[in-house]
């Protein structure tokens, strides 16, 4: 059994990790930390976990965490980078769900997150954990930086086009929408039901923290710098991301082979579903599942490719992908603990 610890287990991502790990046949969760809720039974805060965990939240303790085989960090940015070096020295493997190790350019990281990075040596060694791109590197990694939710949906949608050099990499557009759980569990006036319900808005249109992560991943796929316009939106639902992606084909004649190209690229990927051409993936079709579902579109004879990509921001966009990475790191079946279909209605 893999002995797992979770740092920051009170937020939506933390409880989603617990929900998934509760039925994982190869994992035992030995500790769940929270400074603010230390001593509170997990099942008191999240009654859906009654009968699955008899643990209480505890203060983070390096010696306890160092006894784990793997530690998940489900913390705000700036926390993991202070604690991870000690765990690395102890030989613990880590999947960090925060943004601390995603960006390789530390100047860019500091610009977007407003503080200096405390573990630059581990930024260099960390593997960016998008399994559909870096499976072999993840398998050997001690530290995996779990991708963000928007970057997962956006990158998976664009990858086949950029990897094959079929589109202009300087003119990529990602128009993305997320449910309210993407904003976390903290009390914020802007996230109250009375503020979010029956409303729809863009945010971060002048620049969002996920933009450099998206740009980094797409540039790696293209083998050149990419120009990405990314605008996120808040929609009045709890879970889900839909990213409508636009790219300009260099040769419009290539359009006829795109469906086959996407199907071939993701044929052996257990958590990517390429739907028939012209389909409209729904966020509810992936709710609770570790799945990215996508479809291609074209308007008349336009040379613009349109891709609709949907994920559950808490699963394939966070906790599910983190467990997928853990499975790869320990040589387990990649789908272990993640086989359940989405929740409907």
Per the listing, tokens 């791109």 go with: 133
Checking 134-137 for CB contacts under 8 A at 24+ apart, the result is: 135/328
Give the closest residue to 127 by CA, choosing from 141, 108, 109, 115. 141
Residues pairing with 306 in the sheet: 246, 297
Helix (H) or strand (E) holding 128: strand 127-128
Angle, helices 149-163/131-140, rounded to nearest 10 degrees:
110
Round to whole Å and give the CA distance between 116 and 38. 29
Round to whole Å and give the CA distance between 255 and 304. 9
Please list, in sequence order, all residues whose beta carbon lies within 8 angstroms of the beta carbon of residue 329, skipping any fewer than 6 positions away. Answer: 70, 93, 95, 138, 139, 141, 144
Task: Give the chain's largest Cα–Cα span.
Answer: 63
**Which residues are tagged catalytic?**
149
Structure tokens at 76: 């705000």
C-alpha distances in Å from residue 87, one per residue of 24, 32, 193, 295, 324: 23, 16, 39, 41, 21
Q: CB of 315 within 8 A of CB of 16? A: yes
Q: CB of 137 within 8 A of CB of 127? A: yes
Give the closest residue to 228 by CA, choosing from 311, 295, 151, 305. 151
Round to whole Å and give the CA distance between 272 and 258. 16
């Amino acid at each position: 059994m893999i002995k797992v610890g979770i740092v920051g287990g009170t937020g939506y991502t933390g409880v989603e990790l617990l929900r998934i790990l509760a039925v994982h046949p190869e994992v035992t969760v030995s500790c769940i930390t929270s400074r603010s809720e230390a001593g509170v039974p997990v099942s008191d805060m999240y009654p859906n976990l009654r009968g699955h965990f008899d643990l209480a939240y505890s203060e983070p303790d390096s010696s306890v965490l160092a006894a784990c085989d793997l530690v998940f960090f489900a913390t705000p940015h700036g926390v993991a980078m202070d604690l991870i070096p000690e765990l690395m020295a102890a030989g613990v493997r880590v999947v960090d769900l925060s943004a601390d190790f995603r960006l390789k350019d530390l100047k860019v990281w500091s610009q977007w997150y407003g503080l200096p990075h405390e573990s630059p040596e581990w930024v260099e060694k960390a593997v960016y954990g998008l399994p559909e791109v870096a499976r072999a590197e993840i398998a050997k990694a001690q530290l995996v930086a779990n991708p963000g939710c928007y970057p997962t949906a956006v990158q998976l949608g664009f990858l086949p086009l950029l990897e094959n050099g079929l589109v202009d990499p300087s003119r990529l557009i990602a128009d993305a929408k997320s449910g309210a759980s993407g904003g976390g569990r903290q009390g914020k006036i802007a996230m109250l039901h009375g503020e979010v319900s029956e409303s729809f808005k863009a945010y971060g249109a002048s620049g969002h923290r996920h933009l450099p992560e998206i740009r980094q991943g797409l540039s790696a796929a293209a083998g050149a710098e990419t120009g990405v316009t990314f605008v996120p939106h808040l929609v009045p639902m709890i879970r889900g991301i839909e990213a409508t992606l636009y790219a300009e084909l260099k040769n419009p004649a290539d359009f006829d082979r795109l469906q086959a190209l996407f199907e071939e690229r993701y044929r052996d990927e257990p958590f990517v579903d390429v739907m028939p051409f012209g389909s409209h993936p729904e966020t509810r079709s992936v709710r609770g599942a570790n799945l990215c579902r996508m479809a291609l579109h074209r308007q008349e004879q336009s040379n613009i490719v349109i891709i609709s990509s949907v994920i559950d921001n808490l699963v394939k966009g966070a906790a599910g992908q983190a467990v997928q990475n853990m499975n790869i790191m320990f040589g387990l079946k990649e789908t272990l603990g993640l086989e359940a279909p989405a929740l409907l209605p």
